[in-house]
Structure 1
Amino acid sequence: MANPITLTSGMRKNLFSLQKTQNMLETTQTRLATGQRVQKAVDDPVNYFTALEHTQRADDLAVRKDEMAESIQLIASANDGVEAITSLIASAKSLAQSALSATDTASLNTLENQYMQVLCQIDLLAEDSGYKGVNLLDGTLVTHTVKFDEKGDSSLTMTGFDASSTGATLSLISIATDAWVGTGGMADLETINSAITNLDNATTSLRSEAQKLSTNLSTITIRQDFTNNMINTLKDGAGNLTNADMNEEGANMLMLQTRQSLGTTSLSLASQAAQSVLRLF
């Protein structure tokens, strides 16, 4: 059986120091390459799992932020519908006001028909104001809930309304044929003025609903900004727990390379005593 190679005490100490320096050098190189000083739980269990919790919460909030963005588009589509319906109501009012000064049956019937066509367009527009299958104006009184936090405990629920011409919000009465024609073919001022009053009331009601939409939009936008800031805070917190200081790691690299070089030189010097024995032969 061959005798084992026995190192001197000085050589063993230098070799152990070189091995330790090499391990530290590899760790530093990995940190410089990845930018992280904590990559696995074994590196630092407390910081690793705390950072993981921050990252997971940030990911959950990012999903909520996307949901808020979609809800903002839903409100925007409803608001577009409200603005367009408001313009149609103004157009209908203009027709009714023109009818007040009409002096013949033909003109009155033409204006009345145009008025009814505008009311039909209001109905169609209300039906077309949905977003991704959700419509806050179609009269189904749909509810839409926006969740703000990762657990869904913080939320905002919006309820739609009926924006059709004869719905509860606008309450515009569908008039019968020749309803604007009075005695002697002249304008029926009472009926026409009643229609104008209803149009004014419809505009007021629509503005009230628009204000609700605006308030909801403002709330969601504020929460969206808050969520975005919270996500950045959580990511920064996770980074502070796991990221490496590149300046420090760069300095460590230079120091370890120097130590490695000195260790190699020291090991060479320690081996000279053993080498001197060969000179005896």
Structure 2
Amino acid sequence: MSDITLSSAVRANLNTLQQTASLLSDVQNKLATGRKVNSALDNPNSFFTASGLTSRANDLGTLLDDMGQSVQTLKAADEGISAITKLTESAKAKANQALQTQSQFERAQFATQYNDLLGQIEDLAKDSDYKGKNLLGGAGNELTTIFNEDNTSSLTVDSVDYTNTTLSTGLNLSDLNEAQGGATTLQLEGGNSSITLTNGSGDALASGSVLTDSSSFAVGDTINLNGVAGNAGSVQATLTVSAGTTVQDLVTAIDGVAGVRAEFDEATGGLSITSNDDVFLYNQAGDGSSSASLTGVTSNAFTVGTQLLSESGSFKVGDTLTLEDGNGFELGSLEITSATTVSDLEDFVDDFNGVSASFNTGTGQITIESDVTLNLTSDNADFAASAFTADNDGVNVTAAQNSGFATDNEINKVLDRINTALSNLRAQASEFGTNLSTIEIRQDFTRSTINTLQEGAGLLTLADTNEEGANLLALQTRQQLASTSLSFASQADQTVLSLF
């Protein structure tokens, strides 16, 4: 090719075409890539400056993704606190319900439900994690969010522990004692007998009649009610007959013994003695010469159908039995009639929530079991008397453990703790909200910074498509003109050939 010689005109036009083609290629590359600086060869200063801006934008983009995950972690914790707050408010409602009743059984039920709610709070706290990070899960769950490339700007969100409601640094809500009941027995046994008091003519004595109207008694006699057979020892009641001693005086003396009931029938002159324990009525002559047995009662265990009045000295017609819990809350009452049986008494006690009663025919005992402290009392002082001793406080079931809502004072203490826990929950929710807001603000700032960096890099490297389009059109026109000029130059050289 070096042996070929071009005219100066042709060579000039050829150089112009080559330069135009090179410029046209550059413009087409800029339009194709959208960049006016594609490598360091294009513009070293702009290229490396733009690369630095783009690298920082990419680094911030990675941090922006991490900020987004931090936002989700905080949202999960905030949703957890909202749900825990609702459960805590439900627990408060249970305490208020317990405060509105005096029934120990109902309070025990509310205490159990309260404990169940605390268990749900702990489970919910454990489930409030996001990608293995739980801000409600205690130590080791702190959340750190980095805001810049060199880690000099960050935010650490401390975790709290709601997975254990008893922690003083958390909700400080302890499980309540749940009621553990007790049991007792009521012994039902007894018997009765009677004697007829008449005068010498065989007519029935009246309650106002003097005892000496009967041939069985004389002034100076001593009438004893003994707890053992034989007129010796174990005297439960004694009456010395005087000229003015009446039948009613004898009835009163016998009836005054605990667990013994004496009744006199004016129509028949019959003196009926009903006793829980074996008793024997004796008359000791005033001179001590003789002792006569008047009557005796042999005690036997009751059956389900035994009428209480017929065999027990602990009941009278019109007696009112009252069943109360340890708070004095009355569960119900039963009025004793002449037809009231053991079965009626058993059903009465067994009819209430948390209380059960069962009668054992073999032992004659009613076993009473109760979830809470229970008292069965009567307005009859002889109720539940045993061995001629009055049982002044009735039949009692002492619960092994009362519920944590047993008294108003205990409930109010729980309510105070719940109110404090709710305040702490609201404060913690506010703190998480502030942290969330901070991270979201930094998110927006980082997003804007990335846009600024990318925009700055673009100003250095991106091509102006309008300008490059105009350049392309101009270069295409130049190329066409150069081609035409080259053609003219070649034609000038060809005119020499026409001479041959």
Which residue does the alignment assign to 1:245?
A: 464
1:271 and 2:490 matched: yes
Q: Hey, what's the Cα distance between the residues in 2 that align with 1:183 and 1:74? A: 49
Q: Hey, what's the Cα distance between the residues in 2 that align with 1:197 and 1:257? A: 88
1:184 and 2:355 matched: no
What aligned pairs does 1:1-281 form with structure 2 within 5 A after superposition? 4-140=3-139, 142-163=141-162, 164-167=164-167, 168-178=169-179, 183-184=327-328, 187-281=406-500
Q: Which secondary structure does the structure 1 equivalent of 2:177 belong to?
A: coil
Q: Hey, what's the Cα distance between the residues in 1 that align with 2:100 and 2:2? A: 125
Cα distance per residue 1:102-152 (max 9 Å; x no partner): 232221111110011001111111111111111111222532210011222
User: Are the counterparts in 2 of residues 182 and 188 from structure 1 also a CA contact under 8 Å?
Assistant: no
Q: Hey, what's the Cα distance between the residues in 1 that align with 2:490 and 2:438? A: 76
Query: Once the 2 structures are TM-superposed, how far is the Cα of residue 17 of structure 1 from its aligned partner?
Result: 0.6
Q: Hey, what's the Cα distance between the residues in 2 that align with 1:30 and 1:77? A: 50
Query: Once the 2 structures are TM-superposed, how far is the Cα of residue 32 of structure 1 from its aligned partner?
Result: 1.3
Cα distance per residue 1:140-182 (max 9 Å; x no partner): 2532210011222210011101123212221112221239x86
User: Are the counterparts in 2 of residues 141 and 161 from structure 1 also a CA contact under 8 Å?
Assistant: no
Name stretches of at least 5 consecutive residues in structure 2 with no aligned partner. 181-324, 331-405
Q: Hey, what's the Cα distance between the residues in 2 that align with 1:85 and 1:166? A: 14
User: Are the counterparts in 1 of residues 145 and 154 from structure 2 also a CA contact under 8 Å?
Assistant: yes
Residue type matched to 1:169 in 2?
A: G
If the length of structure 2 is used for normalisation, what is the TM-score?
Answer: 0.54
Query: Once the 2 structures are TM-superposed, how far is the Cα of residue 3 of structure 1 from its aligned partner?
Result: 8.0
Q: Hey, what's the Cα distance between the residues in 1 that align with 2:35 and 2:9? A: 36
Cα distance per residue 1:40-93 (max 9 Å; x no partner): 110111111111111111111111011000000111111111111100110000
Q: Hey, what's the Cα distance between the residues in 2 that align with 1:112 and 1:200? A: 17
If the length of structure 1 is used for normalisation, what is the TM-score?
Answer: 0.95
Identity of aligned residues (%): 46
Q: Hey, what's the Cα distance between the residues in 2 that align with 1:140 and 1:125? A: 17
Between 1:97-106 and 1:253-262, the stretch displaced more is 97-106
Q: CA RMSD in A?
A: 1.7
User: Are the counterparts in 2 of residues 88 and 118 from structure 1 also a CA contact under 8 Å?
Assistant: yes
Cα distance per residue 1:178-237 (max 9 Å; x no partner): 39x863359510000110110000001111111110110010000000011111111111
Which residue does the alignment assign to 2:281?
A: none
Query: Once the 2 structures are TM-superposed, how far is the Cα of residue 272 of structure 1 from its aligned partner?
Result: 2.3
Q: Which secondary structure does the structure 2 equivalent of 1:145 belong to?
A: strand
Higher normalized contact order (CA 8 Å, seq sep 6+, divided by chain length): 1
Name stretches of at least 5 consecutive residues in structure 1 with no aligned partner. none
Between 1:233-242 and 1:165-174, the stretch displaced more is 165-174
Q: Hey, what's the Cα distance between the residues in 1 that align with 2:29 and 2:481? A: 22
Q: Hey, what's the Cα distance between the residues in 1 that align with 2:117 and 2:484? A: 95
User: Are the counterparts in 2 of residues 139 and 160 from structure 1 also a CA contact under 8 Å?
Assistant: yes
